Amino acid sequence: MAGCGCGCNTEGEGGGPFSLGKELVEFVYNAHEGTVRDKPMARGSIEVTCQGCGSPFVMETYLAQCPECGGVHAVAPMNPVPENVQFAGKDYKLP
Ligand SMILES: [Zn+2]
């Protein structure tokens, strides 16, 4: 089982849609040559709590940053629910 559930077989370097933390963030960042990360979520935005500073914010795309602390969060496109949001870590900065 691989791929992100959208019909293609994109596989990141060592990461995948079931990765956790920074690996998932990097998977989403790189998925489909970077065309996934800025896409509005097909099922609508989700409300999440920043795993870095605890501030609530709304993720409208599969990869989003907390407006308070800049913490990078991502969610697997195939199951974008708040429980599946992964946090890259406090010191992580997007490439
Ligand atoms: Zn934050």
Instruction: State pLDDT tens for residues 45-54.
Output: 999 999 999 9
Decide if 84 contacts 19 (C-beta within 8 A): no
Give the pTM: 0.85
In a domain, 17, yes or no: no
Range of the domain at 76: 22-87
What's the token pair of residue 60? 């409208």
- Token pair in block for residue 2: 């691989």
**Band (57; pLDDT cuts 50, 70, 90):** very high
Q: How many domains does the chain have?
A: 1
For residue 64, how far is its CA from the centre of ligand 1 (angstroms)?
A: 11
Q: How confident is the model at residue 1 (pLDDT cuts 50, 70, 90)?
A: very low
Instruction: Say whether pLDDT at 21 is over 60.
Output: yes
Centroid of ligand 1 to alpha carbon of 38 (angstroms)? 19
Taking the centre of ligand 1 as the mean of its atom positions, its distance from the CA of residue 75, in whole angstroms, is: 16
Query: How much distance in Å is there from the Cα of 4 to the middle of ligand 1?
Result: 26
Q: Is residue 60 part of a domain?
A: yes
**73 inside domain:** yes
Does 87 have pLDDT greater than 80?
Answer: yes
Compute the distance between CA of residue 5 and CA of residue 56 in angstroms, rounded to an integer. Answer: 27
Which string of DSSP letters, residue by residue, matches 52-91? TT--EEEE-BSEEE-TTT--EEE--TTS--GGG-EE--TT
d(C-alpha 4, C-alpha 15), whole Å: 11
